[in-house]
Structure 1
């Protein structure tokens, strides 16, 4: 019998510019599609190139977190700038998300 060892695959998505009502639905769809892949065990969203985040962009991230949790997969936010992190703090979502201020 042959043993098959599958190493977990971690994927990084790096949005750029603005995460707002204009592109939030597409962004959410990309995150959910990535999480639904069988070989993906965790998803990191690198926010280092995000200039602004509105409520629609925030809800896309919340929805993706829910999908990850329902599938038993990891989900974290990397390279969160102070300007973006304050949005999470004001909404108290910094208590919900795993947030890393640096790239991992």
Structure 2
């Protein structure tokens, strides 16, 4: 018997600049399209290059999280700058979102959970 490690399909989205009323709808559409892809099981949003986030940008993330839950997919955030982290803490959304220090921490968590399942061929 041969052991085969079956990794989930992970999509990473890395927005840049401001996530606000001006571009929140486009951002939400991109998240929705990524979640709707066949075979995807995890969507990671890397916020490292996001400078600011307003309520519309935050709602785009919440809407995507709800869709991911409805579709049975994992939705995570990583590399949240301190200026944005305070927004998540004040709104208590840091309790709702799965947030990782960085992409490496996310990858390590994926390898240590049931997301990478061992199957035998």
TM-score (norm 2): 0.79
SS in 1 for 2:80: coil
Tell me what 2:28 maps to. Answer: 28
1:6 Cα deviation after fit: 6.6
Greater relative contact order (Cα 8 A, min sep 6): structure 1 or 2? 2
Q: How does 1:39-54 map to 2 (within 5 A)?
A: 39-54=39-54
Residues 1-104 of structure 1 aligned to structure 2 (within 5 Å):
7-104=7-104
TM-score (norm 1): 0.92
Secondary structure, in 3 states, of the residue corresponding to 1:69?
helix
Supply the RMSD in Å over aligned alpha carbons: 1.3
| Runs of 4+ deviating beyond 3 Å | none
Partners in 2 of 1:30 and 1:72 — Cα distance? 18
Shift, 1:101, TM fit: 2.1
- For the pair shown, the structure with the greater C-alpha radius of gyration is 2
Gaps of 5+ in 1: none
Which secondary structure state, in structure 2, belongs to the residue aligned with residue 11 of structure 1?
Answer: strand
Q: Do 1:81 and 1:101's aligned partners in 2 also have CA atoms closer than 8 Å?
A: no
